A and B are shown apart, each in its own frame.
Chain A
Amino acid sequence: MLSLSLIAGEKHLNKRLPEIAMNRPGLALTGFFQYFANQRLQIFGLAEFTYLKSLANKEKFRRLEGLFEQQIPGIVVTRNRKVPPEILDLAERFKVPVIRTPMVTMNFMNECTALLEKLTAPRERIQGTTMEIMGIGVLLRGDPGIGKSETALSLIERGYSLVSDDVTEIRRTSRGRIVCWANEVTRYHMEIRGLGIIHVPSLFGVSSIRRQTELDVVIDLKKPSGNEDRTGIFPEHVAFMGIEIPCITLPVRSGRDMANIVEVAALNQKLKELGHDAAKELDDKVIERLTKGRVRHG
Chain B
Amino acid sequence: MAEVEIVKKFKVLNQYGIHARPAALLVKAAGKFECDIFIEKDGNKVSCKSIMGLMTIEGFPGSTMQVTTSGADAEEAMAEIGELFANKFYED
Binding site for B on A (CB under 8 A): 125, 127, 144-145, 165-167, 183, 185-186, 189-191, 197
B46 touches A127 (CB 8 A): yes
**Cβ–Cβ contact A167 & B53, under 8 A:** yes
Query: Cβ of A145 and Cβ of B55 under 8 Å apart?
Result: no
B66 at the binding interface (Cβ < 8 Å): no
For B44, the chain A residues whose CB sits under 8 A away are 125
Known: A125-B44, A144-B31, A145-B31. A186 touches B52 (CB 8 A): yes
1/0 per residue, CB under 8 A from A, across B14-49: the answer is 000000100000000011000000000000111101
- Min C-beta distance of B16 to chain A, whole Å: 14
Looking at the complex, which one of A145, A166, A189, A197 makes contact with B53 (CB distance below 8 Å)?
A166
Query: Assuming A125-B45, A145-B49, A166-B52, what are 17 further A-B pairs, CB within 8 angstroms?
Result: A125-B46, A127-B50, A127-B53, A144-B30, A144-B31, A144-B49, A166-B50, A166-B51, A167-B53, A167-B56, A183-B56, A185-B55, A185-B56, A186-B52, A190-B52, A191-B51, A197-B20
Residue from B44, B50, B52, B55 with most neighbouring chain A CB atoms (10 Å): B52
Q: Report the minimum CB–CB distance from A38 to chain B (whole Å).
A: 32
* Interface residue count on the B side (C-beta < 8 Å): 15
Instruction: Enumerate B39-82 residues with CB–CB distance to A below 8 Å.
Output: 44-47, 49-53, 55-56, 58
A197 to B53 CA separation, bound complex (whole angstroms): 13
Inter-chain contact A167/B49, CB cutoff 8 Å:
no
Complex A-B, nearest 8 residue pairs according to Cβ-Cβ distance, in ascending order: A144-B49, A166-B52, A183-B56, A191-B51, A166-B50, A167-B53, A167-B56, A167-B52
Closest to B50 in A: A166
Q: What B residues does A191 contact at CB under 8 A?
A: 50-52
Nearest residue, chain A, Cβ from B45 = A125
B residues less than 8 Å from A144 (CB atoms): 30-31, 47, 49-50
Q: Chain B residues near A190 (CB, 8 Å)?
A: 52
How far is A145 from B20 in the complex, measured between Cα atoms in Å? 18
Q: Can you offer 5 A-B residue contacts whose CB atoms are under 8 A?
A: A125-B45, A127-B50, A127-B53, A144-B30, A145-B49
Smallest beta-carbon distance B45→chain A, Å: 7
Chain A proximity of B43: nearest CB distance (Å): 9
Are the C-beta atoms of B50 and A167 separated by less than 8 Å? yes
- List chain B residues, Cβ under 8 A from A167: 46, 50, 52-53, 56
Question: Given contacts A144-B31, A145-B31, A197-B20, is CB(A189)–CB(B47) below 8 Å?
Answer: no
Minimum CB–CB distance from A124 to chain B (whole Å) comes to 9
What is the CB-to-nearest-CB distance from A141 to chain B, in angstroms, rounded to a whole number? 11
Q: Which residues of A contact B53 (CB under 8 A)?
A: 127, 166-167
- B44's nearest neighbour on chain A, judged by CB, is A125
| Least CB distance, A263 to chain B, in whole angstroms | 23
Residue of A nearest to B43 (CB): A125
Q: Contacts of A185 on B, CB cut-off 8 Å?
A: 55-56, 58
> Which residues on the B side are within 8 Å of A186 (C-beta)?
52, 55-56
Tell me which residues across on chain A come within 8 A of B47, comparing CB atoms: 127, 144
Please, which residues of chain B bring their CB within 8 A of the CB of A166?
50-53
Known A-B contacts A145-B31, A167-B46; the reply to A197 vs B51 at CB < 8 A is: yes
Tell me the bound Cα distance from A189 to B50 in angstroms.
13
Chain B residue at smallest Cβ distance from A129: B52
